[in-house]
Amino acid sequence: MTASIHIAREVDLSALNTLGLPAIAEHYAEPASISELQAVLDEARSQQWPVVVLGGGSNVIPAPYIEGVVIRYSGADTRLEVEGDSALLHAAAGADWPTLVEATAEAGWWGIENLALIPGSAGAAPVQNIGAYGVEVGELIERVVYVDQADNSVNVLSASECGFGYRDSVFKNALSERAIIVEIVLRVSRHASARLNYADLAQRVAVPATPAAVAAAVSDIRRDKLPDPRQLANAGSFFKNPTVSEAKASALAADHPDMPRYPAADGVKLAAGWLIDRCGLKGVKRGHFGIHERQALVIVHFGDGSAQELSDFANSIAAQVADRFGIQLEQEPRRLGFSD
């Protein structure tokens, strides 16, 4: 028998998105189990409500009013399935990602330590294929469990079926309107070497390192460079690092020898923050929004702003980068609940 769950009306979501944007959900539910989630989906189908999925709220731009039902899966159980020197780390979608990384690293398991202090929930991690300091979560995922909105079926995808790419996955594409992730399973190991390819990380970690030491160093770097959304509203990196052809990168490097560039599978990856900074935009403030004074990749919200104002500000930044460098920036945060 399907579980029942309370569905609230006209719920304020301003505290549930790290940009602090005003947003109201027509209906809202926080199922803590698969059966409760299926009950909400049954009601949504019977009422013909659109379904909008909200995770930790750290990478979204919510519409001012979201019609239908907003679902925030709250199940947060975790468990470790040890298999010799490696283990499968099971995390329910509602588990807090920074807490999960810290606990795993402190327990001596290698794998996700470079992804420390990235805000959000475990269930959101594969959607965006979160990454930092040379590691993407897609490299570590064994499988993802999701509920299909269409028929309540519980499905399992292997890592190869998740379509992981740079800040991308099947959950942002073919399954974006169907899948509600309820669990991720990660492979962690007792024996691995620290991945210290980035100079600022290598300088802070003594070798031989421990997972906890790497996680602590990553956390320190992020605190130094990025504003805490609890103190200054933001969604982290607002733009993706663009990938260009080798010819384009070489032409730009001829004019800008100090331009950071990194090999990528389909060309050369550039640093969006560097491009924005070179346009003289770091620290710029316009209305209720601005670019962070220490990190040009982060748009901050000073309060009382709107999603439309944010969109206009972000578009103006992208336009200036396009005018100067001939590169079109793409924003990272997902638009949530907009009719378009």
Active site residues: 167, 237, 332
Contact predicate 317/276, CB 8 Å: yes
Collect all residues with Cβ–Cβ distance below 8 Å to 315 and sequence separation of at least 6: none
CA distance 203 to 76: 35
> What does the CA dihedral 121, 19, 319, 237 come to, rounded to 10 degrees?
-40
> What does the CA dihedral 15, 20, 21, 25 come to, rounded to 10 degrees?
-10
Tokens of 121: 């929930």
Element (H, E) at 321: helix 307-325
Collect all residues with Cβ–Cβ distance below 8 Å to 186 and sequence separation of at least 6: 88, 89, 91, 111, 112, 137, 140, 141, 142
CA distance 280 to 293: 11
